[in-house]
With several copies, the nearest count.
Chain A
């Protein structure tokens, strides 16, 4: 095992990777932009290197700076997290050219699965079911029109380099095709630096079900069970769970084996996810996510494995330490993503300062977070703040636990989707497992946050007034630790009747 690891990411995923690395006795190096000087991942690492101004292109996407930081600190390996450079074949190549271990697939495999069209060909070559659509990059709008005509509207325009729902547009008629292509290309260019898009049949009511896999350089490969990620907004997952409510033991083995076949055909290595759409008993290969995914904790809680530890072991050349038979998922896990966004205003990202924070705790509750009070949530980066993951003996227990955890989660200062998530977790369609990627459109299109009851409103008014009274009283009476000790505050008030 290497001795020193640089984590080329920020936020909750950098913190999560750093924790495992520290537990393995590996010295850790964080990198950070000028906007992230006070971030938790910077504090947690043994060393930290500033790599540039806030815009990602000048810092977290700056390959030269990151490799420079690794060389300067003597790091032997780089973990890219997710997003940023995680699936960037040039970065993987630059790492190996600099003599650094890239904790992820080899550059070739990244390129192969990163190109959606090539990945599709790979899937076809091993006999995996795929969605009807384009099989090669098309030069002009005419080709798109023809293909759309052939497979029938609605069609889906997708970025070839895409992921995370970016650079994707549903086009329901010829009249909208041009605008949809343009929007997808513009977004793809911005997000991935590549405007190439393609087109496929739009599946009306799919579930998103994906399979976690591991491959090592010794030819071993295992699948670790599925995650259902159908609850999405803006094509981006917000609730994930495992097992999927529609999964059968037979289908799981079939999808698992298909996923491993695709990965092997791609020369894949390390942890990865093969995504499928599922509708009415059929599944279709969607794409390979060649990275540790946001929702990986769902699989960790079910299998008892530490995927980051396994990633580091595989990257250092060790074989996968378990056989397919030793993978024995247990119970049910659910993850809710907490974004800085306003669910009532079309999920508009929200920036600001974390003014108050209390994260959920307790048996079966895990909170992967990069937050602390006083942290500024910058406009420069993906607005994910944290993830709450719960595990229970049954789906019902995991969901009830999640409701308890979310209703204990205090975040003030930025908007979060917590009240939407709580409403979803109570919805009959969710509870009965009737999911599709259009779940939110079907059931929550006009969602408004529940109006606070008159009692809750009055308590808010009273608490705000008490806080002002308290703040006033502590003026000039503050201790040197700059916050009032309990006995300096207003204390216990018993209000007499009448």
Chain B
């Protein structure tokens, strides 16, 4: 089988192929000489060059979380959408977690600086500052103070500054 993941912004390819001697693993086309032991469902011990790696894998939607020797690596499945769509973090500001919009500090049409706090979200008994990802003009605000937001809800749209701004 073949598998593709995005890791650190790069597309990585893993292939498992049955051969006469066992199963051949390639990463980005390079054969990897490893010894794999499945300990339990989603729980592996992999040995490479005499070094052992403990790995625990859980798929969670589009993301696969893998714990390897005390570090957590998050792999993303490549999106089927066409490349080129602007990342949401650039043109929209989204709620990083569910919570209550306790303070809205900008209005539509206002120009904001990068990292400027534009709203305050309250969740888990704490206040969290939502900051502008870049400079821009607030094109649209989708909520008002006191609204309860779901995770990833778009709070506001930013549009690029025109030359004259």
Q: A residues bordering B, Cβ < 8 Å?
A: 37-38, 42-43, 45-48, 56, 73, 166, 183, 186-187, 190-191, 234, 345-346, 348-353, 355-356, 358, 372-374, 379-383, 406-413, 418-419, 422, 449-452, 455-472, 474, 479-484, 486, 489-498
Contact = CB atoms under 8 A, between A and B. Distances in A.
A381 B126 CA distance: 10
B75 interface: yes
B12 interface: yes
Nearest to B55: A463
B72 interface: yes
Given A413-B65, A462-B27, A496-B24, A46 B39 contact: no
B59 A234 contact: no
Contacts of B98: 351, 379
A456 B151 CA distance: 30
A330 B15 CA distance: 55
A9 B70 CA distance: 25
B83 interface: no
Given A419-B71, A491-B38, 13 more contacts: A183-B127, A190-B102, A351-B151, A353-B60, A379-B123, A412-B66, A456-B69, A463-B44, A465-B14, A466-B57, A468-B59, A481-B42, A489-B41
Nearest to B49: A455
B144 interface: no
The 6 A-B residue pairs whose C-beta atoms are closest, nearest first, are: A496-B21, A463-B55, A407-B70, A355-B58, A460-B73, A460-B66
B79 interface: no
Contact of A486 (B5, B12, B40): B40
A47 B3 contact: no
A495 B34 contact: yes
A463 B53 CA distance: 10
Given A43-B39, A463-B66, A450 B97 contact: no
Given A43-B45, A450-B71, A356 B58 contact: yes
13 contacts: A43-B45, A351-B124, A351-B151, A352-B60, A355-B65, A419-B71, A460-B66, A465-B1, A467-B44, A481-B41, A482-B42, A493-B22, A493-B38
Contacts of A358: 56
B51 A418 contact: no
A462 B1 contact: no
Given A418-B70, A455-B51, A456-B68, A495 B36 contact: yes
B107 interface: no
B124 A461 contact: no
A489 to B, nearest CB: 5
